[in-house]
Structure 1
Amino acid sequence: MKPLPLPKQKNLRADCAWVVYQVLEQGKSSRDCLEKVQRRHNPRDNAWLQEMSLGVMRKLPILQHWLRALLDRPLKGNKKVIEHLILVGFYQLAFSRVSAHAAVGETVNAAPYLGGGGLKGLVNALLRNFQREALADKPINNPIIESGFPKWIYKAIDSAYPDNSQQVREASNGMGPLWLRVNQQQTDFTTFCNALDKLDIPYTTSEQHPSAVILKKREDITSLPGFEKGWFAVQDGAAQLAAAYLGAKSGERVLDCCCAPGGKTGHVLELTPDLETCIALDFDEKRLQRVRENMTRLKHTPVIIHGDASQPADWWDGQAFDRILLDAPCSATGVIRRHPDIRWLRKSSDIDALKLLQAKILEALWPTLKPGGTLLYATCSILPAENVEQIRTFLANHDDATLLPLHENDSNDIPGRQILPGEAQMDGFYYARLVKSEG
């Protein structure tokens, strides 16, 4: 599919359809695309753009089912984006609070912004037929389509979690709450909570996470108290477990590998500010810029290195690490509720390639760890192939690796801790803690 430039003039529905097109036809990240369109809209409209475009990602198979029922022939070429505009219209009518009149009228009026002025009649007819035939009220009778997932993820969840697959899918289709981690190097927990109270910002706390605040509604992060002063970082509860599981101690050398955007780096430094060295490593220079920005705001000073984790010879100085946090590249199937485009950007064929990359990085980093040192393996995946199977294989192939349990049932047979989406309000995440023998 040919690249489609951003519409010259801003229009909410047209811009939303452009984001959907970029994800589904060009394989772009919704986050990057939303950033581009949100630059020209106000905060309230930006929230609408995000809600609608990500909503289409969550309900895509259902929306496409309806489109196939109403559209005789697919649109092609530079008119393809109009199909995505129609999907946005269907979503408004079936799943949003937008009035039916506005959903139809404004969606039809958006077509010229996308070069589809001559297709306004088609857009109007399809949206009116959708209402007339009450398609949103008719059963689809296909559990995979109704789930909102591609077939391969649907079946992968069934296979991995046969006893609670429906619960996992429902949690993955929800919207995760906004977790904050209080930076106790810059303020204290009580001061931050009092500042939220003064602004009548509702929140809850978590017994598992002593530095965490969970906001009860979406907020503009930059307007929260202490943002510019580095009082807090945005970090899901599952990711907040990493620093504690790593267990870094004063005077140690620590490597945070595949570190971007830097949330775990910051947390390690907040808990252990007197490390000898904390190296933050990532292969993506663009994402490393976000690490630098976040560390500057939070007032942390790790050593930031651009490098390939699987090639330590290119960046390692030869001094072994006491602790290594490997947040490995993965399918990100545990964070689909926050990034619903992942389900359409990932393919089943990606998993084998990711498994090989994870194993390659593990093998490459293990020699850089001191005898007696700890390596914490982490992913934001819920697929066993990337998690328990990966670690089980590593343990079987390394006599000098021992599993240090994270919970009472953590064993070589089923190593690590698998957190499922929605568990204690957290994202899906996996951890396994390995210790290198001293002998």
Structure 2
Amino acid sequence: MNAPASLPLAQLLTHAATAVQAVRAGQSLTDALERCPAPARPGAQALSFHALRWLGGAQAVRAKLVPKAPPPAVDALLLTSLALLWPGSGTPYAEHTLVDQAVVAAKQRGGFVNAVLRRFLRERETLLAGLQDDAVARFNHPRWWVERLKGDWPDQWQAVLAADQQRAPMTLRVNRRHGSAQAYLGRLAEAGLAGSALPGTDAIVLAQPVPVQQLPGFAAGDVSVQDAAAQRAAPLLLGAGLPTGARVLDACAAPGGKTAHLLELAELDVLALDSDAQRLARVHDTLQRLGLKARSAAADAGDPAAWWDGRPFDAILLDAPCSASGIVRRHPDVRWLRRATDIAALCRTQARLLDALWPTLRPGGRLLYCTCSVFKAEGQEQIDAFLQRHGDAAIAPEPVAPGHLLPLPDNEDDRSSPPAGASADGFFYSLLTKT
């Protein structure tokens, strides 16, 4: 975590604690940070991301030091500060600076932050040693999440949990209509930015994240920000190619990255659907920046009678609503917002969408099902059940979809192997064809 220096640390701690408090109350971190004053937002985001990555341990320690929880505002500041003091977490601040600034921030909230933080520093080794058997404190994920990963990935679950604690790389997708990845690497070098291209793709992984305004040609549509795993969708769906003007449905399109990638690669008649009109506006903004066009409709993809004109699609992309368990590095609040019961509900939604969209696909057409999840219930188990329900569905023999991708460097094939130390998000892909 880079030290944000735009405002005094006490102010940033206050804003970060407010965001953490909102997440603990069930609100998304994105919504919480949108309410943060613009000058403080980058620093507050960095601190709140850090706090949420180490929230499990911070909560366990706070419970030991202060068994009776303080008021929510004080508790959030205390937890944020404890997470930033966590050994090995990569905080850029000196301990005495953190404590002093937390005390300044606490004056606005009341409480006894100084004494608790200093006791934590004095007794840290003993406190941490007593948490080794606490799965939530040790892995900083809810217990049900840890148990589900153990069951799904008995050999890799700890590596996945460790990967969730890391900052995700900033990955770019070069607009093939505007130039090649190799050419864009040269433009980055001219701008003083370093990156590595992923062989055989339009993806570039930056050595360090930067604001998009610093990317050469971003406003002109030369490049977009999109994880390498998400960039697999468009090439998989297009396969060996679709005829010019082929009808393609992007069933859950917002925020529009995959829609745009399809249109960058081929001349298609794309219908972009999303049930949320506000999120659909982001699709329009993305396509406008890139100079691309698609039809769109704010509608429930699971209710074709409300939006389908009866003409079958040549290809369908279903990036289904899911737990987002594969993108926890980018959204550390997800692990604390999700509940164990959410998975069954999400699986029902995914099955409803698959069943509803299948009749809109022409015989011989392709449907790409994907989720940004590492849970098998939302991936392979979902597809296995779908194939049982639909006798005219089969796994497409070419191109071969990768199935489950874990957010680990060694889980990528040679075609898109990441630079050393980098990795893509967790995803699932299955390509179906109608026989």
CA change 1:74–1:377 in 2 (3 A) is same
Aligned residue number for residue 227 of structure 1:
218
Q: Which amino acid aligns with 1:278?
A: V
Asked whether 1:133 is paired with 2:123, we answer yes
Asked whether 1:269 is paired with 2:259, we answer no
Aligned residue number for residue 251 of structure 2:
257
The offset of 1:170, in angstroms, is 1.3
Aligned residue number for residue 16 of structure 1:
16
Asked whether 1:63 is paired with 2:63, we answer no
The answer on whether the counterparts of 1:380 and 1:430 sit within 8 Å (CA) in structure 2 is yes
The answer on whether the counterparts of 1:52 and 1:91 sit within 8 Å (CA) in structure 2 is no
Aligned residue number for residue 335 of structure 1:
327
Cα distance in 1 for residues equivalent to 2:48 and 2:107: 19
The offset of 1:186, in angstroms, is 2.9
Cα distance in 2 for residues equivalent to 1:29 and 1:72: 27
What SS does the aligned partner of 1:317 have? coil
Q: Which amino acid aligns with 1:367?
A: P
Mapping 1:182-193, distance limit 5 Å = 182-193=174-185
Mapping 1:235-254, distance limit 5 Å = 235-247=226-238, 248-249=241-242, 250-254=244-248
CA change 1:333–1:72 in 2 (3 A) is closer
Cα distance in 1 for residues equivalent to 2:369 and 2:153: 22
Q: Which amino acid aligns with 2:29?
A: S
Q: Which amino acid aligns with 2:433?
A: V
CA change 1:71–1:143 in 2 (3 A) is closer
Q: State the TM-score, normalized to the length of structure 2.
A: 0.90
Q: Report the RMSD for the aligned CA atoms in angstroms.
A: 1.7
The answer on whether the counterparts of 1:407 and 1:417 sit within 8 Å (CA) in structure 2 is no
Which one of 374, 384, 406 corresponds to residue 420 of structure 1?
406
CA change 1:387–1:242 in 2 (3 A) is same
Structure 1 unaligned runs (5+)? 1-9, 411-415
The answer on whether the counterparts of 1:181 and 1:235 sit within 8 Å (CA) in structure 2 is yes
Cα distance in 1 for residues equivalent to 2:348 and 2:398: 25
What SS does the aligned partner of 1:186 have? coil
The offset of 1:11, in angstroms, is 2.0
Cα deviations by residue, 1:109-156 (Å, 9 ceiling, x for unpaired): 11244xx24x2xx11111111122235873221251201110011000
The answer on whether the counterparts of 2:233 and 2:258 sit within 8 Å (CA) in structure 1 is yes
Aligned residue number for residue 7 of structure 1:
none
Asked whether 1:306 is paired with 2:292, we answer no
CA change 1:112–1:237 in 2 (3 A) is same
Cα distance in 2 for residues equivalent to 1:216 and 1:314: 46
CA change 1:135–1:84 in 2 (3 A) is farther
The answer on whether the counterparts of 1:186 and 1:229 sit within 8 Å (CA) in structure 2 is no
Which one of 47, 50, 56 corresponds to residue 52 of structure 1?
47
Cα distance in 2 for residues equivalent to 1:150 and 1:406: 38
Aligned residue number for residue 416 of structure 2:
none
Structure 2 unaligned runs (5+)? 1-9, 413-422
